[in-house]
């Protein structure tokens, strides 16, 4: 099998946790270059890679076919456009760009160069989203009239030096965590009729938004999306209300940390996942007599995981292990 020679831009959390573990375990890809400006940390995990100090050096190698961009949001448009012009395919970490104009320009540039341009929306493939998609497709909850999704954290103090909390284009919780649940809603329901948003900064020591509450109106259906950094005790991650039942999902989906992977090493965390579904059916055993039947399901899982580079990963697109 010919492997796609891949260059990764950046070696922060996004690269280490959400990209390189998959690229390094899937036979279709070969990581040949990593861009690190000030160190060569990637060589500890990937001893065969070449470390590039500049973006021009990275894309200047004719053998590199794919560029995966994991750097801060204000670099996305510049790096993606330069990579496309250099004849590279591009995978771009969310958010795609910081405004619509930049996004449209990249789409047009990809068409002109004949290269693949894709935004990395990994939350389309986690089990809670796939479960909700199936529930909606099979109409098990009847006609859905309300959908709630939250992406909350508890971090009362800002992180010194963090670009995500600085006064920069694309910084703040809306552009950081918002794209996950916004994208999920657009996949499930399409474009809304109207959007109402409350975006604000609640913590004193940060310079970017750290709270959002967004209402999307679909007519009969109302979608509410919420994200905040001061939520100590969290409620359900997802709530779906329908005419025949409800679905509640608690906790971080374990695939966010452990997508069917086999991990090797230290650092263990403990998490909890819980899902509840309550459904109702009208039953008419004889003419003139109608009863409502309640049916409840509860799933609870306490699980542990190791946070390190996996040696096996599951490819949700092909339904195979790599």
For residues 147 and 280, membership in a common domain is answered with yes
Digit-coded pLDDT (tens) for 239-274? 999 999 999 998 877 544 443 333 333 334 444 555
Domain count, the chain: 2
Helix (H) or strand (E) holding 314: strand 314-315
Check if the beta carbon of residue 75 is closer than 8 Å to that of residue 14. no
For residues 72 and 156, membership in a common domain is answered with no
Residue 252: the pLDDT is 76
Q: Please state, in angstroms and rounded to a whole number, the distance separating the CA atoms of residues 19 and 8.
A: 9
For residues 294 and 168, membership in a common domain is answered with yes
Domain boundary among 120, 148, 174: 120
Strand pairing category for 117-120 and 89-93: parallel
Digit-coded pLDDT (tens) for 19-57? 999 899 899 999 999 999 999 999 999 999 999 999 999
For residues 80 and 12, membership in a common domain is answered with yes
For residues 137 and 11, membership in a common domain is answered with no
Residue 266: the pLDDT is 36
Residue 280: the pLDDT is 62
For residues 146 and 59, membership in a common domain is answered with no
- For residue 101, the enclosing domain spans 4-120
CATH of the domain at 302: 3.30.360.10
For residues 64 and 137, membership in a common domain is answered with no
- Is the per-residue pLDDT at 314 higher than 50? no
Its pTM surpasses 0.85: no
Residues 6+ apart with CB under 8 A from 170: 72, 73, 74, 76, 95, 98
Check if the beta carbon of residue 246 is closer than 8 Å to that of residue 239. yes
Burial class (CB in 10 A: 0-12, 13-18, 19+), 245: buried
The two three-digit tokens of residue 39, written as one number: 């160190």
Q: Quick one: what percent of the chain has pLDDT higher than 70?
A: 79
Residue 294: the pLDDT is 62
Residue 292: the pLDDT is 61
Among the listed ranges 37-46, 157-166, 207-216, which one has the minimum average pLDDT value? 157-166
Among the listed ranges 63-77, 130-144, 164-178, 299-313, which one has the minimum average pLDDT value? 299-313
Q: Please state, in angstroms and rounded to a whole number, the distance separating the CA atoms of residues 113 and 84.
A: 7
Residue 297: the pLDDT is 62
For residues 115 and 127, membership in a common domain is answered with no
Domain boundary among 120, 142, 174: 120
Give me the mean pLDDT over the 128-156 stretch.
Answer: 94
Name the average pLDDT for the chain: 85
Q: 141-174 as b/e, with b when 16 or more CB fall inside 10 Å?
A: beebeebbbbbbeeeeebeeeebbbbebbbbbbb
For residues 214 and 317, membership in a common domain is answered with yes
* Residue showing tokens 């008419």: 284
For residues 173 and 51, membership in a common domain is answered with no
Q: Please state, in angstroms and rounded to a whole number, the distance separating the CA atoms of residues 298 and 277.
A: 7
Residue 279: the pLDDT is 61
For residues 97 and 143, membership in a common domain is answered with no
Domain boundary among 120, 142, 163: 120
For residues 270 and 303, membership in a common domain is answered with yes
> What's CA 17's distance to the chain center, in Å?
12
* Residue showing tokens 């690190």: 36
Digit-coded pLDDT (tens) for 228-248? 999 999 899 999 999 999 999
CATH of the domain at 89: 3.40.50.720
């Amino acid at each position: 099998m010919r492997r796609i020679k891949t260059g990764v831009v950046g070696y922060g959390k996004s690269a280490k946790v959400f990209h390189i573990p998959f690229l390094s375990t899937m036979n279709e890809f070969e990581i040949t270059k990593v861009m690190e400006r000030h160190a060569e940390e990637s060589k500890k995990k990937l001893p065969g890679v070449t470390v590039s100090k500049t973006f021009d050096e990275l894309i200047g190698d004719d053998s590199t076919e794919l560029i995966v961009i994991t750097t801060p949001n204000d670099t996305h448009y510049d790096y993606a456009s330069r990579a496309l012009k250099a004849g590279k395919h591009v995978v771009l970490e969310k958010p795609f760009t910081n405004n619509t104009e930049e996004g449209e320009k990249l789409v047009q540039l990809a068409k002109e160069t004949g290269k693949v341009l894709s935004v990395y929306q990994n939350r389309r493939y986690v089990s809670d989203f796939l479960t909700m998609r199936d529930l909606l497709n099979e109409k098990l909850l009847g006609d859905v009239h309300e959908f709630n999704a939250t992406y909350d954290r508890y971090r009362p103090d800002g992180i010194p030096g963090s670009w995500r909390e600085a006064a920069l284009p694309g910084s703040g919780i809306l552009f950081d965590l918002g794209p996950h649940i916004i994208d999920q809603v657009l996949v499930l329901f399409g474009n809304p009729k109207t959007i109402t948003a409350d975006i604000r900064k609640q913590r004193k020591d940060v310079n970017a938004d750290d709270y959002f509450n967004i209402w999307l109106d679909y007519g009969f259906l109302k979608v509410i999306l919420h994200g905040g950094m001061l939520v100590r005790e969290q409620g359900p991650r997802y709530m779906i209300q329908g005419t025949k039942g409800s679905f509640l999902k608690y906790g971080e989906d374990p695939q966010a940390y452990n997508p069917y992977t086999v991990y090797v090493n230290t650092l263990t965390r403990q998490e909890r996942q819980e899902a509840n579904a309550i459904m109702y059916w009208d039953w008419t055993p004889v003419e003139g007599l109608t009863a409502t039947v309640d049916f409840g399901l509860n799933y609870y899982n306490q699980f542990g995981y190791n946070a390190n580079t996996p040696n096996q990963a599951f490819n949700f697109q092909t339904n195979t292990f790599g």
